């Protein structure tokens, strides 16, 4: 009888130890990584080097003309763009990521050489005005994998983008002046998006990250693809407030179908971003 009680106590003790170890291991496994924040707010700007070509072709596929905003219309090749992000976790390894930026540019110039767009010819010495507005916003649900100071992320979501591009001025068709004309295109669309990410925490103050994302849409009035990549560091001299710096690259190729012609946008953005960071 005594030996039976001893055996029962030993078994109970082993079971309790096993349960405690399992709970501790489970808690350790589910623990939020120091490379992630419960809520993360990014407010800052993107100093982007730009290279932008706008073109148009008729329905037969023959190119009617294109022009480069920086080379042909004298747009500055550097544009400061405001940018905002919001990341928050649901649990310890899943959450949402939101991002938004807008590139708005406009300039008037007297041409030194002729350009063509949408069937209209703008000769040398003509004064023209070019305009480009591009808005990009995204929302994705992200899963983070890994433990400790390194995590890897996968995100699935959607991106919204809007393009308004055009040119106006004195033009001619087949050598005949047609006076003041303007050609513009404006369209917006939603498209599926895939995100990949990596986060590393050196300590509580310093962290590093790498992000990549792709958007692709076939069909519809506005289709094409958008690719983004960024490498950055974060520094938190205070517990909840810090700074972020990253270098990013974006490639945007979009095609818009209009009644009489198709419009094309080919834009590259690259440069540094600076953020004020809030974490909770």
Map out the domains of the chain with their CATH numbers.
31-279 (2.40.128.100)
pLDDT tens digits, 96-118 = 999 999 999 999 999 988 888 87
pLDDT tens digits, 47-65 = 999 999 998 877 665 556 7
Nearest-angstrom CA–CA distance, 66 and 11: 81
Nearest-angstrom CA–CA distance, 65 and 183: 12
The reported pLDDT for the residue numbered 174 is: 64
- Is pLDDT at 136 greater than 60 in this prediction? yes
Of 58-67, 96-105, 222-231, 240-249, which range is least confident? 58-67
- Is pLDDT at 29 greater than 60 in this prediction? no
Phi, psi torsion values for 16, nearest 5 degrees: -65, -40
Nearest-angstrom CA–CA distance, 183 and 203: 54
Q: How far is CA 84 from the centre of its chain?
A: 11
Nearest-angstrom CA–CA distance, 98 and 140: 7
Share of the chain above pLDDT 70, in %: 86
- Is pLDDT at 180 greater than 90 in this prediction? no
- Give bridge partners of residue 218 from the DSSP assignment: none
């Amino acid at each position: 009888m005594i030996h039976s009680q001893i055996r029962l106590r030993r078994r109970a003790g082993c079971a309790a130890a096993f349960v405690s170890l399992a709970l501790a291991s489970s808690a350790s496994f589910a623990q939020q990584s120091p490379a992630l924040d419960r809520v993360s707010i990014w407010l800052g700007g993107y100093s982007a080097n730009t290279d932008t070509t706008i073109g148009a072709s008729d329905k037969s596929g023959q190119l009617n003309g294109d022009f480069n905003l920086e080379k042909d219309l004298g747009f500055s090749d550097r544009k400061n763009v405001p940018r905002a992000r919001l990341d928050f976790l649901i649990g310890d390894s899943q959450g949402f990521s939101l991002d938004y930026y807008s590139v708005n540019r406009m300039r008037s110039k007297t041409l030194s050489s002729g350009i063509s767009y949408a069937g209209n010819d703008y000769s040398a010495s003509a004064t023209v005005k070019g305009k480009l507005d591009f808005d990009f916003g995204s929302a994705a649900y992200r899963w983070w994998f890994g433990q400790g100071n390194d995590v890897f992320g996968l995100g699935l979501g959607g991106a919204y983008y809007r393009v308004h591009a055009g040119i106006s001025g004195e033009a001619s068709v087949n050598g005949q002046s047609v006076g003041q004309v303007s050609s513009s295109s404006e369209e917006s669309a939603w498209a599926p998006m895939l995100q990949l990410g990596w986060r590393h925490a050196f300590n509580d103050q310093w962290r590093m990250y790498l992000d990549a994302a792709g958007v692709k849409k076939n069909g519809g009035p506005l289709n094409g693809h958008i690719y983004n990549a960024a490498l950055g560091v974060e520094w938190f001299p205070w517990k909840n407030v810090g700074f972020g710096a990253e270098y990013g690259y974006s490639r945007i190729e979009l095609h818009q179908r209009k009644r009489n012609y198709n419009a094309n946008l080919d834009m590259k953005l690259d440069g540094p971003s600076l953020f004020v960071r809030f974490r909770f």
